[in-house]
Amino acid sequence: MKKRQIKHNILITAGPTREFIDPIRFISNSSTGTIGYLLAQSAKRRGNDVVLLSGPTHLKPPPGVKTVSFNSARELKNCSDRFFDWADIIICTAAVADFRPAKVINRKIKKEKGVPEIKLVRNPDILKGLGRKKKNKVLIGFALETENLIENGLKKLKSKNLDLIVANMHSKKSFPFGKRQVTAFLIDREGVQKHAKTSKERLARIILDRADKLCYILKQPKKRR
C-alpha cells in the first residue's frame, strides 16, 4: 500500500544576493541557486504548495512553483516576512551577504578619481530573525564553511534556533557550487549525519524527507507529565 503524502506549504530561498556599490558594481557570491531550485522542484512533485524566493540565477523556475525574485538581503527579508505566516516548512538555501555598502553611489565610480573607500554595514540576519518567531514551523538552514565545519554548524543550529542545518565545506578540493556531487552533513540536536559524494537531486530528497518527519513530530500533541 502506497504511503500517503501529507501536503505542506513550503517556503524556499535560493541563490545569491547582490549589494550594489554603484549602478554597475555589486558585492555578491558564487551561489548558483541549484539546490534551492531542486528542492522546490522535488517538493512540488510531492504535491506540496511551494513558494521559491530566488536571487539572480540563470535557472528556469520549476513548473507550478510560485517564484518571487529578489536582489538584496533586505529585499529577501521583506519577501521572507511576507510568506512567513503561510509556510509550514521554511528552507533557507540562499547565500546572503552579511554586509552591504553604507552608501550606494548613484553614478559609476571612475578610476581616475582614485581608489574609493567603501564603508560596509551589517545586513539583517534573516535566518536568526525567522528562528526567533518560528514557533511550530520547521526551519532549515545551510552553512558553507572553510574550517571547523561541524563545530560552526552546531553553533549556527543553536544560535539561530534551527531544526536542521545542512553544512558543507568550501576548499580547493571541495567546490560545492553548481549542479554536481557534494558531501553534506545534516546536523540536528540529535547528532550529525554524513552524506558523502551525493548528487544534489538526492540530497534534496533527503532534506525533504527530514523536513516531513520534523513537521510531523512538531504537530504531535505534547504529553502531560
Tell me which residues are annotated as active site. 29
How many C-beta atoms lie closer than 10 Å to residue 25's C-beta?
14
* Beta carbons within 8 Å of 200's beta carbon, 6+ residues apart: 34, 35, 38, 179, 180, 181, 182
In the DSSP assignment, the letter for residue 22 is: S
- Angle at which helices 200-218 and 34-45 cross, to 10°: 60
CA dihedral over 119, 70, 169, 60, signed as positive or negative: negative
Q: Give the phi and the psi of residue 207 in degrees, each rounded to 5.
A: -65, -40
